[in-house]
C-alpha cells in the first residue's frame, strides 16, 4: 500500500486519489469494459480476468461456466452445437406436452383420405392438399395466434434475455424459437412423429433455433458480403417481397414433390421448410443481424 507524505498540496492530493481509483478498477482485455479488481470474469463478454496470456480459467463444472467457455470460442461452432443439442432435448422430451393444444383442436376435425382419387390427377393433388390442411388445422390456428401476439412475444423474449446471465444470453432467442416451433410442428405430425428425414421429425424444430442463432451470429458478415442484394431488396415494397418469398417456396415445394407418390416425404418436407426459412430471411430478415 503506498505511503503519502503529509505536506502534499491539494493538487497532489487529487492526483493521489485518482491513482487509488485506477488501481481498484481495470478494463477487460477482450471487450475493454470497465471491471473491478477481484472479479474473476467480465460481466459483458465472459472472459476470464485472472488468466494469463489470454488463457481462460478451466470451468468448475457449473453450466454457466461451461456456457461461458463455449461462447468464447471464436468461430461460433461450439455455441451452435450447444444451441442445437439443447433444442433437440427440448423437442424430444416436450413433444407430447407441446403438441397437445394443436391435437385438441384437430380432434374436432375429420381429416379424411384420398382413397377414391386417381393417382397423378389434379383431383388427387387437391384432395391431398385438403387432407394436409385439415391435419395441420390446429397448428395453423396456433400460428395465427402467435402472429397476432408477436409483439408481446418479442417483448417477453427481450425481458427474458435481460434477466439471463450474460454468458447464457446467446441461448435464449434460439430456444424460444425452438419452443414455439415445436408446438406447431408436433401439432401437425402427431401420426408421423417416428419418421426421419434429414433428422428425426421429433427434433427437427431445433433446426429453427439453429437458424435463428446463425442469423444473429453471422448476420453482419452476411450483410457485408451481400450489400448490393440488400440495397436492391429494400427498394421493393414489403408486400411484394412477401408474395415473392411465398411464391418461390410453393414453386420449390411443388417441384420437389411432383411425383405420383411422394418418396422420402419426411426428408423432402424438412428440405422445403429449410428452403422457406432461407427465402423468408432473404425477403424480410434484418441483414445486419445481432452479435450474440
Phi, psi of 41 (to 5 degrees): -135, 150
Our measurement of the distance from residue 55's CA atom to the centroid of its chain's CA atoms, rounded to an integer in Å, reads 29
Least confident of 6-20, 73-87, 105-119: 6-20
pLDDT tens-digit map of 218-243: 888 888 888 899 989 989 999 999 99
pLDDT tens-digit map of 139-163: 999 999 999 998 999 899 889 988 8
The C-alpha atoms of residue 91 and residue 187 are separated, in whole angstroms, by 12
| Dihedral angle over CA of 150, 100, 274, 73, nearest 10 | 80
Asked if the model's pLDDT at residue 1 lies above 70, the reply is: no
Least confident of 12-26, 160-174, 259-273, 275-289: 12-26
Asked if the model's pLDDT at residue 210 lies above 60, the reply is: yes
48: β partners: 41
Phi, psi of 116 (to 5 degrees): -90, 0
Do 134 and 111 meet the contact criterion of CB atoms below 8 Å apart?
Answer: yes
Residue 175's pLDDT band (boundaries 50, 70, 90)? very high
Asked if the model's pLDDT at residue 59 lies above 60, the reply is: no
Using CA atoms, how far residue 63 sits from 68, 69, 209, 276, in Å, is: 8, 10, 20, 34
Our measurement of the distance from residue 76's CA atom to the centroid of its chain's CA atoms, rounded to an integer in Å, reads 13
Our measurement of the distance from residue 183's CA atom to the centroid of its chain's CA atoms, rounded to an integer in Å, reads 15
206: how many CB neighbours lie within 10 A of its CB?
Answer: 27
pLDDT of residue 30: 62
Amino acid at each position: 500500500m503506498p505511503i503519502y507524505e503529509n505536506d502534499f498540496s491539494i493538487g497532489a492530493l487529487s492526483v493521489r486519489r485518482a491513482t487509488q481509483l485506477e488501481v481498484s478498477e481495470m478494463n477487460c482485455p477482450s471487450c475493454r469494459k470497465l471491471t473491478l479488481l477481484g472479479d474473476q470474469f467480465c460481466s459483458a463478454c465472459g472472459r476470464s480476468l485472472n488468466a494469463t496470456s489470454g488463457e481462460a480459467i478451466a470451468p468448475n463444472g457449473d453450466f454457466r461456466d461451461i456456457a461461458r467457455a463455449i461462447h468464447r470460442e471464436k468461430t461460433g461452432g461450439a455455441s451452435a452445437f450447444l444451441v442445437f443439442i439443447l433444442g433437440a432435448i427440448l423437442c424430444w422430451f416436450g413433444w407430447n406436452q407441446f403438441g397437445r393444444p394443436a391435437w385438441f383442436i384437430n380432434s374436432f376435425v375429420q381429416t379424411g383420405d384420398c382413397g377414391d382419387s386417381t393417382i397423378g390427377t389434379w383431383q388427387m393433388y387437391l384432395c391431398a392438399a385438403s387432407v394436409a390442411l385439415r391435419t395441420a388445422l390446429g397448428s395453423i390456428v396456433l400460428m395465427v395466434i402467435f402472429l397476432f401476439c408477436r409483439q408481446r412475444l418479442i417483448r417477453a423474449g427481450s425481458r427474458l434475455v435481460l434477466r439471463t446471465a450474460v454468458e447464457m444470453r446467446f441461448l435464449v432467442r434460439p430456444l424460444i424459437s425452438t419452443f414455439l416451433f415445436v408446438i406447431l410442428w408436433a401439432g401437425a405430425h402427431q401420426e408421423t412423429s417416428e419418421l426421419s428425414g434429414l433428422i428425426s421429425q421429433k427434433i427437427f424444430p431445433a433446426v429453427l433455433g439453429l437458424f435463428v442463432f446463425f442469423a444473429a451470429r453471422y448476420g453482419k458478415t452476411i450483410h457485408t458480403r451481400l450489400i448490393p442484394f440488400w440495397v436492391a431488396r429494400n427498394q421493393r415494397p414489403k408486400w411484394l417481397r412477401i408474395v415473392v418469398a411465398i411464391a418461390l417456396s410453393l414453386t420449390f415445394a411443388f417441384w420437389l414433390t411432383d411425383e405420383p407418390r411422394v418418396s422420402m416425404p419426411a426428408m423432402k418436407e424438412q428440405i422445403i421448410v429449410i428452403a422457406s426459412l432461407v427465402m423468408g430471411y432473404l425477403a424480410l430478415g434484418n441483414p445486419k443481424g445481432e452479435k450474440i
